[in-house]
Structure 1
């Protein structure tokens, strides 16, 4: 099979050969990410409503043919094993829950490496990117992760290039490596891949059938952070996500503005209009909010948390923390013992007491 051109150019003709996708499911994979991606393939593969794999074909592959359990309990049986599968144009690794069961086994990691050594484009969806990192196939590439799993990623891969880590976008295409934050974005990244090989009308038809409408581009921001209205300007949303991504190192205003293709003055004006606060003040609140969450969700020392949240030392964190919350970090931890600060969606106001909620910029 001829290799697929990895450039994101859009072809106006139906490909002569089917594009082959091999899909690897991690234990406790996210069903939404898997089904969204596959349904885009299914609906784009055929002209009629028969779901025939005319333009592209897909196969679920695994170490064995034993069913793989999704995080919701539904099980999917692989169609073929790694040894039986023919070469694919794309190998797609779909992840899910990180903490409940062992992740990718040695055979899966070797399958990913073997595919990466050829002409195959490797795709990581949701926490599938963790498997790609463990396989060592992302060196020298930008990597997209969900903001929700950013700290998990940093903890598991402390030597990763922080400047190459992207937690403020839906997905990233970097040559033959594609990484996606997961969820609904799996539909968008599938559409972006298919547009390399199919005409726009075919892909758009599939999106309309899924009631999605227009696909989101990779540089679209991930969903708005807690405490921010949905109507907030997308540049401000992205700036806040960058603040969370770089919570351990306060980004200078000019560097933050540069990442957003704005001037520092433009960014300050936009932030003031949208939040009523300067970027610097908002960033400090983000760091304090993260420190409050770490105090109640971990047993890390105050000094360690201070370092992780961009404060010079424990005393610096203590001074700022008392200003914002009215009590020192240790006392805050003692009072909040056994009470979760954030819910499963992140650090939301519902999980904070009144003093902590006041620290979240509105």
Structure 2
């Protein structure tokens, strides 16, 4: 008997035959889209264009090898965050007619929950073995619907803190462009949605079709899931994926700096390995890089925000304003207060 206080375990992951089932005399890849109100047009367009270009010869756009449909409960047009509206093509119906159901999320501050009809449809899809895909804040919406419990999910580094605040107990992945965890696929949005779509095309249609789509879209190469997100890495220029992912992890923990030992543990490497990568790629140590990121953010906040120096110190992981001032002057040759005073226009 399992003790009452035993930790919950994620559901076992098995290969999903529905996701890779062969098709005869029909499209090899069929995708149904659900668009949130104020959805991000870029993420949707990138995903669809990869399917479109893989579906036919050249860029003729006929839905032969792939097909795609915007679904709706009401058939009302859905307006994107940039104001452009998309007219759905079909009502929800039977989700098993698709290989994947993709939820395209919208603006974080204006993100309503999915209606009961959409939630029911997504649960029917999950019960039928249809894999669910959350793009951009679509991962938030799948979790709100109770469909990401026990799964790893990818969110943009930009929304990492928002996700932690709203969905306690779920650990998002914000240092990869997309995550495939069994029958749940999630990506950070933007250009990464093209790479997730290319991953699906590669699986169902073939690598040549996936590469063709990306090349026509002027995207050089198909990126794998564990490619680091191109977040704000300040002044550091490197292609080392371990260093890039470490910098993003540092960026997500600026207010509560992690030790290098803890960072190495989370990255799955030893402290010595991490230090060697930083020395080779950036000619610096992880400690020095983390301090540089925190000081650069403090400099930015002093110039662009009305926050007090004491609050900026806390936000950037310093003990107090005196600690920040000492480190800041050593790096920039001026104190935070002097910099703020110099940026204040004369009356």
Question: TM-score with structure 1 length normalisation?
Answer: 0.75
> In the TM superposition, what are the counterparts of 1:283-298 in structure 2 within 5 Å?
283-287=290-294
Uncovered stretches (5+) of structure 2, i.e. residues with no partner: 1-15, 330-334
SS in 1 for 2:112: coil
C-alpha change, 1:52 and 1:247, in structure 2 (3 Å) is same
Q: Distance in 1 between matches of 2:118 and 2:204?
A: 27
Aligned pair partner of 2:169 in 146, 160, 166: 160
Q: Does 1:23 align with 2:33?
A: yes
Alpha-carbon spacing, 1:188–1:318, altered in 2? closer, same or farther (3 Å): same
- Aligned equivalent of 1:324: 327
The structural deviation recorded for 1:203 is 2.0
Alignment of 1:183-202 (within 5 A): 183-202=190-209
- The match for 1:79 is 89
Contact 1:122 1:178 in 2 (8 A): yes
Q: Match for residue 223 of structure 2?
A: 216
2:121 maps to which residue? 111
- Counterpart selection for 2:258 from 251, 256, 271: 251
Deviations 1:21-43 (A, max 9, x none): 11011111111111111111111
Q: Report the Cα distance in structure 1 between the residues aligned to 2:170 and 2:207, rounded to whole angstroms.
A: 35
Question: Helix, strand or coil: the match of 1:21?
Answer: strand
Q: 1:152 & 1:305 partners in 2: Cα distance?
A: 21
Q: Verify the 8 A CA contact 2:33 2:103 in the aligned structure 1.
A: yes
* 1:63-96 Cα shifts (integer Å, max 9, x gaps): 2111111111110011122247664221101113
Aligned match for 2:108, one of 89, 94, 98: 98
| TM-align CA RMSD | 3.5
- CA distance change for structure 1 residues 228 and 15 in 2, over 3 Å: closer, same or farther? farther
Q: How many pairs were matched up?
A: 321
Q: CA deviation at 1:232?
A: 4.9
Distance change (3 Å), C-alpha of 1:320 and 1:38: same
Q: What is the alpha-carbon distance in structure 2 between the residues aligned to residue 155 and residue 38 of structure 1?
A: 31
C-alpha distance after superposition, 1:300-351 (max 9, x if no partner): 9978994x7666xxxx24443232346xxxx979x97xxxxxxxxxxxxxxx
Identify the residue that residue 343 of structure 1 maps to in structure 2.
Answer: none
Mapped to 2, the partners of 1:317 and 1:136 lie a distance apart of: 41
Spell out, residue by residue over 1:78-127, the C-alpha distance to the aligned partner (whole angstroms, 9 max, x if none).
11222476642211011131213634333323322232222111111111
The gaps in structure 1 that reach 5 residues or longer are 337-351, 355-362
Question: What residue is the counterpart of 2:48 in the other structure?
Answer: 38
Q: Show CA shifts across 1:231-259 (max 9, x none).
A: 45332211110112344554342343344
Q: In the superposition, relative to structure 1, how do residues 122 and 281 fare at CA in structure 2: closer, same or farther (>3 Å)?
A: same
Distance 1:332 1:81, change over 3 A: farther
TM superposition score normalised by structure 2: 0.78
The alignment partner of 1:195 has SS state of helix
The secondary structure found in structure 1 opposite 2:159 is: helix
- How do 1:264-343 and structure 2 match up within 5 A? 264-287=271-294, 306=314, 316-325=319-328
Q: After the TM superposition, which of the residue ranges 48-57 and 145-154 deviates more from structure 2?
A: 48-57
Partner of 1:225: 232
